[in-house]
Amino acid sequence: MLFGEKEFLTEIEILSGGVKHPNIVTLLGFCIEASEMILIIDDFSNEFLDDYLGNLKDKRVLTWEKRLKICIDVAHALKYIHYEMEDQKTIINRDINCASIGLDENFGAKIIDFWWSIFLPPNQEDDTLYVDWIGRKFNIDPEYKKTGKLKRESDVYGFGVFLFEILCGRLASHLIYLKEGDIGLAHVARRSFSTGSLEEMIDPIIKEEIGENKFVLNRGPNKDSLHTFITIAHQCVAETQDQRPTMKVVVNKLEKALFFQNNNKDNPKMSLEDIKRVTQNFHGDNFIGGGGFGKVFKGNLQDGEGIKTIVAKRLDTRFGQGEQQFFSELQILLDYKHENVIGLVGYCDENDEKVLIYEYLSRGSLDRYLNDTSLTWVKRLNICIDVARALDFLHGGVGKQAKVIHRDIKTENILLNNDWKAKLADFGLSLICSINQETDYIIDHACGTRGYVDPLYRQSGFLTIESDIYSFGVVLFEILCGRSTFAIHKHEGHYLPDFIKNNFEEGTYAEVVFKQIREQIVPKSLTTFQEIAYQCLHLEREKRPTTKEVLVELKKALEFQSNSDVSIIETQVVELSSELNDMNMTGKSENSEIRNKEKMLLHQTDDQAESDCL
């Protein structure tokens, strides 16, 4: 066997064996002939990361934001090979370093080297292998080197060294980290962290200091971004494996650091003191609801426009829960603004307190009005259209941004203002996925609310935007039926999707319509609505409509209803006018009640025409 042939074949096996991720290199071909071994891979127009940190290329192009994004790209790739591959496979890379990271034309990062990688056997009770150590001297996990014990956390250590290389702008093997008994970058970083002098190690190209230990947003890191980055990097290079975080945690923290960096300007961050003042120190009289995430309070906030009512969601983080959901929702609400998405007023992340401040919508959540007769069919259709617009906006992405999968569409998360305008809320479970990624799904542990969640997602863990479509289909039928999926489950023994399916198969689908509004609905409006809602519940994702298609059909249903309502009103006006003319012809006195009714009907006609133009 040729020297290096075993490693060469290992890399081919991994890259051609189902490993598919936007941050892992694509194998285009290979050659093994005579003494030649060649891999054909993606072209990297910005070459490799070590070229910049090794001063072969101008590293001034690597702004702090770019460095963060490179770290996040690599972290996602490691998270994927550790936890998210099909058939429960796990790969330990064993060689995370700057030379193994290729940079495309947009400085997107991909892991290119699996030379020393190793598979962790599936279904093994212990996630540990005992193998002879191999790796780069200044990047290798010290516990693995000493004992031969190889775990996912060995990659985490190598990635921690990588993070400090990014932060310091030098490779781990730089001579500056080898003087006076030092044994590499990780050792120096741990010591500097414990003495509080780590800021001195930061690459001067990305740092601009003003005063004592303060940073401003220029090209460099802001204070919160820097602190979050350094803290997780330090945890990664802990000397023992059991002290290190998982790559899932690392991804979350790095995205938090990027969030702080991106939102340093016009930051709606509020002090805990201000929020306590607004909510009267979270007084019980201001409590309006709660759940697994924590408690919700109402308050009055003084701003430049006067006093306005707000809602404060105070997360319960006592058991380590909610932090990821907090920053996920915060990132989405700051980046994705739309008239049918709940508005963010501010937030607080201080002293272990995490609070989100939203606009106040006076009517509360839609689930309270499902069986309310004041919620007419036209109002219900407009609410459905509002939610469809929000989903179309989220699923379509914003410019070059990613698309958002809400993951918890339900009537409880649809809020209404005084004019019955609907806004989608609660993005704590939402996920952001790149529009340009090769796959259109995310592998994830199923989350959501029973009775709404896509059965394919629940069974397989494969999440797509069609999972939101399924949940929205449940909401559409709840609005039509005037009953929640939970009420149907309590009465029928199964949730709304099965209830609807049974009625459609038996041809009794007209009976599911809320009795109190049944007579309001014209047949063409009902048929159009039911057909698109039923398509949303299709078990095959490919046969579910897009949000754009749903929106088109809902608007048609409203148009059919509105045209019919106008015709009915106009007919009533003609009949009343005829009656008045007859009275005048016969010399009878004009009935003021009839005249007032005619004026009222004419006013309704004008209102309806105005509604059609919206």
| Confidence class for position 217, pLDDT limits 50, 70, 90 | very low
Binding residues for ATP: 313
- Catalytic residue list: 408
Instruction: Name the CA radius of gyration of the chain, rounded.
Output: 30
> What's the CA angle centered on 412, arms 499 and 449, to 5 degrees?
60
Q: What is the pLDDT of residues 426-449, one digit of tens each?
A: 998 898 876 555 455 676 667 889
- Structure confidence by residue, pLDDT tens digits, 122-152: 666 556 666 666 767 788 889 988 888 889 9
What is the rounded end-to-end Cα distance, in angstroms, of the chain?
74
Q: What is the pLDDT of residue 122?
A: 66
Per-residue confidence band for 77, with pLDDT thresholds at 50, 70 and 90: very high
pLDDT for 213 equals 35
The interaxial angle of helices 152-168 and 223-236, nearest 10 deg, is 140
Largest CA distance in the chain: 117
CA 429 vs. chain centroid, Å, equals 7
Q: Where are the beta strands (DSSP E) in 104-235?
A: 109-111, 118-120, 129-130, 149-150
With cut-offs at 50, 70 and 90, classify the pLDDT of residue 469.
very high
Encode pLDDT of 269-283 as tens digits.
Answer: 888 998 999 999 999
Tell whether the model's pLDDT for residue 73 goes beyond 90. Answer: yes
Q: Is 471 helix (H, G, I), strand (E, B) or coil?
A: helix
Query: Which pairs from 532-540 meet CB under 8 Å and 24+ separation?
Result: 532/476, 532/557, 533/473, 533/476, 533/477, 533/480, 534/473, 534/500, 534/504, 535/473, 536/469, 536/470, 536/472, 536/473, 536/476, 537/470, 537/473, 537/474, 537/477, 537/497, 537/500, 537/501, 539/455, 539/456
| Cα–Cα distance, 554 to 531 (Å, whole number) | 10
Sequence-ordered alpha helix ranges (H) in 150-222:
152-168, 185-195
CA distances from residue 229 to 10, 140, 261, 322 in whole angstroms, order as listed: 33, 21, 11, 20
What are the tens digits of pLDDT across the range 228-240?
999 999 999 999 9
Q: Is the pLDDT of residue 593 over 70?
A: no
* Token pair for 602: 């004419």
Residue 365 CA: distances (Å) to CA of 325, 340, 368: 20, 14, 6
CA 541 centroid distance within chain = 20
Q: How far apart are CA 484 and CA 414, in angstroms?
A: 13
| pLDDT tens digit sequence for 17-72 | 778 899 999 888 888 887 888 888 888 889 999 999 987 787 878 889 899 999 99
Q: Token pair of 382, please?
A: 């407009």
pTM value is: 0.62
Summarize the annotated binding site as residue ranges: 313
Q: Could you identify the residue written with the tokens 């699996």?
A: 114
- DSSP letters of 28-97? EEEEEETTEEEEEE---TT-BHHHHHTTSS-GGG--HHHHHHHHHHHHHHHHIIIIISGGG-EEE-S--S
Residue reference for tokens 């095959």: 540
pLDDT in tens, 443-456: 666 788 999 999 99
Q: What share of the chain is helix, strand, coil (3-state, %, to 5)?
A: 50, 15, 35
